[in-house]
Amino acid sequence: MILHLFSYGAFFTTVALTYAIICLGLNVQWGQTGLFNVGVAGFVGLGAYVSALLTTPHSAEHIGGFGLPILAGWLGAALAAGLATLCVGWLTLRLRADYLAIATFGFAVVVQLCLLNLQPITGGALGIAFIPRPFAASAHDPARFGALNLAVMAAVVLALYLALERLGRSPWGRVLRAIREDETAALALGKNATRFRLQAFAIGGAIMGLGGAAQGHFIGFIAPDNYLPMLTFQVWVMLIVGGSGNNRGAILGAIVVWGIWALSASAIAAVVPADQQARTASLQIVLIGVALCAILLLRPRGILGEVRIVSRHLLPGSRLRQRLPHADRR
């Protein structure tokens, strides 16, 4: 019984951490830079399929690709999604935010339709199965398999969190927040707003592609129906609930919202008769909407709101301040 609970807990947390990776990418775009990306599902799906095609061995029984190592697939997914966001951003970031939202949504629709119709490459509606899973040799032991995958996902999330935190506190990150708060002031200081936005947009898209690849390899199967607009809605709710602009909030929001989603699915399966479950599945969306409304009413900035970063050179007692003559310390 304990092993079963541990296996389920490891599975639940691992999936939540894959969503946390996607949330961190959206936080770079929206939370740090103010870029309204409503095509998250497209970038996630692109990353998942690129990694699957790179790593799944081809055979007569199933769609496959080059049979490369999983790490190569993850890097390829991040690169492909980053290049896609770079192209979309280059075409739209000079325009108003409304056009960026329309363009990203259109990109997500195009990706989903391509995945559905390019059957010789993507498998069409049937998707791609037999995707290599990390530590597949331990799959016969669910507890060990879950623990190893959880450790890998936790390491990836931790590495991304530390890297993004360092970027956020760097001059580059301060420029992004300056552009988000007052683009005119940033331009007056000689900052190229379009270039910085494009960089942030591409980095966020690459992280989303990595999250999609990690999720696909952990589950072992992907299909076009996994990358509908509902995925974009889920990720946005995760970021808003956790706290936009806060990397810890993005991770916490992913875990909380995924918990609501998973627990509501289990409750529906336990209470509702099997022949009626398809009709009541929309209750999950209702619960997510209720959670979002509650957070917006009680904590408009999310569970962990954005922490305002002040340069250490302006803080009392900083080295720069300590070097000033006594008469200048007043």
**CA–CA distance, 66 with 276 (Å, rounded to integer):** 43
Residue with tokens 């340069």: 311
pTM exceeds 0.75 for this model: yes
Q: What is the pLDDT, as a whole number, of residue 266? A: 83
Q: Grade residue 318 by pLDDT with cuts at 50, 70 and 90.
A: very low
Q: HEC states along the chain?
A: CHHHHHHHHHHHHHHHHHHHHHHHHHHHHHHHCCCCCCCHHHHHHHHHHHHHHHHCECCCCCCCEECCCHHHHHHHHHHHHHHHHHHHHHHHCCCCHHHHHHHHHHHHHHHHHHHHHCHHHHCHHHCECCCCCCCHHHCCCHHHHHHHHHHHHHHHHHHHHHHHHHHHHCHHHHHHHHHHHCHHHHHHCCCCHHHHHHHHHHHHHHHHHHHHHHHHHHHCCECHHHHCHHHHHHHHHHHHHHCCCCHHHHHHHHHHHHHHHHHHHHHHHHHCCHHHHHHHCCHHHHHHHHHHHHHHHHCCCCCCCCCCCCCHHHCCCCHHHHHCCHHHCC
Per-residue pLDDT at 324 exceeds 50: no
Q: What average pLDDT does this structure show over 237-241?
A: 96
Residue-level pLDDT at 314: 47
Confidence grade of residue 65 (pLDDT, cut at 50, 70, 90): confident
Q: Quick check: 278 pLDDT over 80?
A: no
Instruction: Tell me the C-alpha distance between 237 and 252, whole Å.
Output: 12
Q: Which of 62-76, 166-180, 315-329 has the lowest mean pLDDT?
A: 315-329
For 202-229, write each residue's pLDDT tens digit.
999 999 999 999 999 999 999 999 999 9
Look at 38-47, 51-60, 178-187, 291-300 and tell me which has the smallest mean pLDDT.
51-60
Report the percentage of the chain scoring pLDDT > 70.
91
Provide the pLDDT for residue 304.
Answer: 92
- Greater confidence (279 vs 259) lies with 259
Residue pair 202/82 in contact (Cβ under 8 Å)? The answer is yes
Q: How confident is the model at residue 320 (pLDDT cuts 50, 70, 90)?
A: very low
